[in-house]
A and B are shown apart, each in its own frame.
Chain A
């Protein structure tokens, strides 16, 4: 019983009521409390860019979609991170660096394939010119991750701190090397190296708006593709983990590594496979993220942080946790950007990231092992 209480973190009605009150307030704020800015440019705590969901339903709907599509991308990256942690108890601090390297690899391949240099017009890119860079980046980073695991982590198994330090070292080295050598293809007149921001281009057919026939909202097809890719990764991982023998071994290994050895299973092969897949997912996410936004120095730390927060919210090593963590994070982030009070001068707030950490703190206070995590 005492164990259960500890597992649920903060106890007592007061903190629970307080937390519930905060969440309810946030929801009410978005739904009814917020006000659109008045024409004189002034504002108070209720002033947001567009006002509440009642004032402007289409912004509300767009924000929901922004959150969900961002969640799709978050899930692709974080599920790989979570897979590695769940099975091997390795907090792979190099996951962000893998993302960065994967993104630049995909960019370079696409530049070579299209041969059109920087300033690529998205409509000129066909599906193959996106799919090949994406696959090549995944294979490269998967193999690279596998090499890191075999050469550096394998003989430190069970020593969590040492493994975390090794992966930090790898992340620093990789990120610095990436900045030293990428991007190789840049517009004339700019510095060639130095981790400049570059974008991968989505295939041309995604570069349009779709009419959703709900509240007159039109929405970017590429962002919907991002969501679909996230869902596809989730479905594929689910089928892999729950419908195949390898998946069964992985789930067994997540529960008890030592016992898998006691029944004669070579868990090392499974570890290697999980690291390969987990790392490849970082490159998958980087190709998608680099297409939607950009690849640049600093993205490594950013995406490591995203992954950490998502799996801390969802629960380390749980696929469902990574999914729910991604959706919560994506929604909170999108709504914070759109609905935090502003002074009404069409300005945007820079404080949105604070709320994502508030989300994490809230989850940790009431459920330290994450929403879907098991008590350690």
Chain B
């Protein structure tokens, strides 16, 4: 049994998982997870390696199908819908290992992310006006993550931190209703982490944010509510303060000396 989500009950649910499980052969990576995230919420999902966080993300976005349970996003049951359907509904995500198109330029990558979500029909004939507008939005999205100076460069030639920026720009460019970030800060320098935190804090409140993050400073600064996972299950949910104070969390994850006032 999970504890009640700290969210307001009547708020519009962005994400609603009921009894979601995912099995890989004999391994139950995600086990009976119930999760409610409401509109505009900032939710962090924490847990040690192998807790099933990324698998849960994959089940939510549709990269993996759920072995059991149901996935609802924006009030619609999408358990059987493919990833691209969910993307078109306004669910954007990034991956732990940045998954990008190395052979495309930064601008083209972001452009494609917008085209993919909006219509996505591959019109062989380009409509110039629409085309210019999408290009403009792609450049604007690049500006938001401070990667404008690399618009014309091949994604494959960029640094790790820049890959992260491109991934977030691609996710943001399509103007998603919900944004799922899988360890966006991993491998970033201190300065880049600072930029990322500011970007996340400044994010439009209409966008629901779900975050997997190992950097507790970022996670607990950005998140308003936290879900702790362990062995595929949700073990605790609460506010950052409650999580800091929780004994189980300390034992599992934070280690000694963290969060003791």
Task: Say whether B74 faces chain A, with CB atoms less than 8 Å apart.
Answer: no
B-contacting 9-mer, from A163-171, A210-218, A240-248, A300-308: A240-248
For residue A374, which residue of chain B has the nearest CB? B102
B101:A256 contact, CB within 8 angstroms: yes
- Bound Cα distance A64, B120 (Å): 46
Complex interface bits, A198-221 against B, C-beta within 8 A gives 1, otherwise 0: 000000000000000000000000
A245-B115 contact in complex given A251-B101, A262-B93, A270-B122, C-beta closer than 8 Å? yes
* A54 contact set on B, CB distance < 8 A: none
Complex interface bits, A252-271 against B, C-beta within 8 A gives 1, otherwise 0: 10111011111111110110
B84:A264 contact, CB within 8 angstroms: yes
Q: Count the A residues whose beta carbon is within 8 Å of the partner chain — how many?
A: 23
B83:A261 contact, CB within 8 angstroms: yes
Q: Count the B residues whose beta carbon is within 8 Å of the partner chain — how many?
A: 32
* B102 contact set on A, CB distance < 8 A: 255, 374
For residue B118, which residue of chain A has the nearest CB? A264
Task: Say whether B38 faces chain A, with CB atoms less than 8 Å apart.
Answer: no
* B99 contact set on A, CB distance < 8 A: 256, 258-259, 262
Task: Say whether B123 faces chain A, with CB atoms less than 8 Å apart.
Answer: yes
Q: 24 A-B residue contacts at CB 8 Å?
A: A245-B122, A245-B123, A246-B124, A248-B104, A249-B112, A249-B122, A251-B104, A252-B103, A252-B104, A252-B112, A259-B95, A259-B100, A261-B82, A261-B84, A262-B87, A262-B92, A262-B99, A263-B170, A264-B84, A264-B87, A265-B84, A265-B120, A266-B84, A270-B122
Task: Say whether B141 faces chain A, with CB atoms less than 8 Å apart.
Answer: no
* B87 contact set on A, CB distance < 8 A: 261-264
A251:B116 contact, CB within 8 angstroms: no
- Bound Cα distance A251, B120 (Å): 16
- Bound Cα distance A267, B117 (Å): 13
A263:B126 contact, CB within 8 angstroms: no
- Bound Cα distance A255, B82 (Å): 20
* A256 contact set on B, CB distance < 8 A: 99-101
- Bound Cα distance A269, B82 (Å): 14
Instruction: Give the residue of A252, A261, A264 whose beta carbon is less than 8 angstroms from that of B63.
Output: A261
Residues of A in contact with B (beta carbons under 8 Å apart): 244-246, 248-249, 251-252, 254-256, 258-267, 269-270, 374
Task: Say whether B249 faces chain A, with CB atoms less than 8 Å apart.
Answer: no
Instruction: Give the residue of B62, B108, B123, B174 whose beta carbon is less than 8 angstroms from that of A263.
Output: B174
Task: Say whether B113 faces chain A, with CB atoms less than 8 Å apart.
Answer: yes
Task: Say whether B61 faces chain A, with CB atoms less than 8 Å apart.
Answer: yes
B127 to chain A, nearest CB (A): 11
Complex interface bits, B102-134 against A, C-beta within 8 A gives 1, otherwise 0: 111000110111011100101110100000000
* A266 contact set on B, CB distance < 8 A: 84, 120
B104 to chain A, nearest CB (A): 6
B117:A246 contact, CB within 8 angstroms: no
Instruction: Give the residue of A244, A246, A258, A260 whose beta carbon is less than 8 angstroms from that of B116.
Output: A260
A264:B174 contact, CB within 8 angstroms: yes
Task: Say whether B88 faces chain A, with CB atoms less than 8 Å apart.
Answer: yes
A255-B100 contact in complex given A264-B84, A269-B122, C-beta closer than 8 Å? yes
B101:A259 contact, CB within 8 angstroms: yes
A236 to chain B, nearest CB (A): 14
The 5 A-B residue pairs whose C-beta atoms are closest, nearest first, are A264-B87, A264-B116, A265-B116, A263-B116, A264-B117
A262:B122 contact, CB within 8 angstroms: no
A316 to chain B, nearest CB (A): 14
- Bound Cα distance A258, B116 (Å): 13
